[in-house]
Amino acid sequence: MTENCGNCWCSTARADGALICRRHPNLTDNNLAMRHPVVKAGDWCADHIDIESGPPPTGGNGTVGITDGSEAPAGAIGEYHVVSNATGLTLPTNTPKTVCSLALTPGDWEIWGTIDFRPAAGVSPNAIAAAVSTHTDALPTDTDLMTGVGVLNMFATSALTTGQRQVLMTGTCRSNAATPLTVYLVGQTTLGGSGLLTGKGYICARRMR
């Protein structure tokens, strides 16, 4: 075979010597070229832009990771985005507030975040909550949580040290939308008295497929 998927490292040989495509195992010598007509010897397969040219590694499925510190391009598996709020904003007691937000393009995304709760000196929080929500200034609904489109991590105790910084991760959730979607990092606190508490944080997402 020349100048088709058989020369891309997404292909492999069966025991009988026939070339097959790792991602499309039903494609063999006779129709690989029809599935990947633009691939030439030594190139990446246009249908598998996440697979490097060069000898496939031993074991696994032949997919190799990058080692040059580059970012995945927009639309590719592994695409990553992060938005942070390093200045912070005041979190009033028992009032959910958006710390920062992230606009996502259509696709299958894994999303998570972290909030850094900074109470002023002498302030005693009794509860803190960090969430990824599809609603601004609102924690995820029960339906959101049960269907995995939102995530909430809540910590309630009277043992939080007065004036002590607390950092809470949200956990991960999924967005698999056919239209653009904005997700929100939302924080909430319950204070044991008067005073101010500032919330800082980040929200990030990685395209999974």
> So where are the chain's domains?
1-70, 80-207
Q: What is the pLDDT of residue 162?
A: 87
Q: What is the pLDDT of residue 62?
A: 53
Q: What is the pLDDT of residue 24?
A: 57
The answer to whether residues 115 and 201 touch, using CB atoms and an 8 Å cutoff, is yes
Give 124's DSSP letter: -
Q: What is the pLDDT of residue 52?
A: 41
Q: What is the pLDDT of residue 54?
A: 46
Strand partners, 202: 84, 114
Task: Could you please state the CATH topology (level 3) that the domain comprising 80-207 is classified under.
Answer: Jelly Rolls (2.60.120)
Q: What is the pLDDT of residue 20?
A: 55
E strand or H helix at 147 = helix 142-147
- Please count the other Cβ atoms lying within 10 Å of the Cβ belonging to residue 136: 13
Strand partners, 139: none
In sequence order, which residues have a C-beta less than 8 Å from that of residue 102 and are 6 or more positions away?
A: 81, 82, 83, 111, 182, 183, 184, 185, 203, 204, 205
CA distance 47 to 85: 37
The answer to whether residues 140 and 152 touch, using CB atoms and an 8 Å cutoff, is yes
Q: What is the pLDDT of residue 181?
A: 97
Q: What share of the chain is helix, strand, coil (3-state, %, to 5)?
A: 5, 40, 50
- Please count the other Cβ atoms lying within 10 Å of the Cβ belonging to residue 32: 25
- pLDDT < 70 stretches in the chain: 1-63, 159
Q: Is 124 exposed, middle or buried (0-12, 13-18, 19+ CB in 10 A)?
A: middle
Q: What is the pLDDT of residue 3?
A: 36
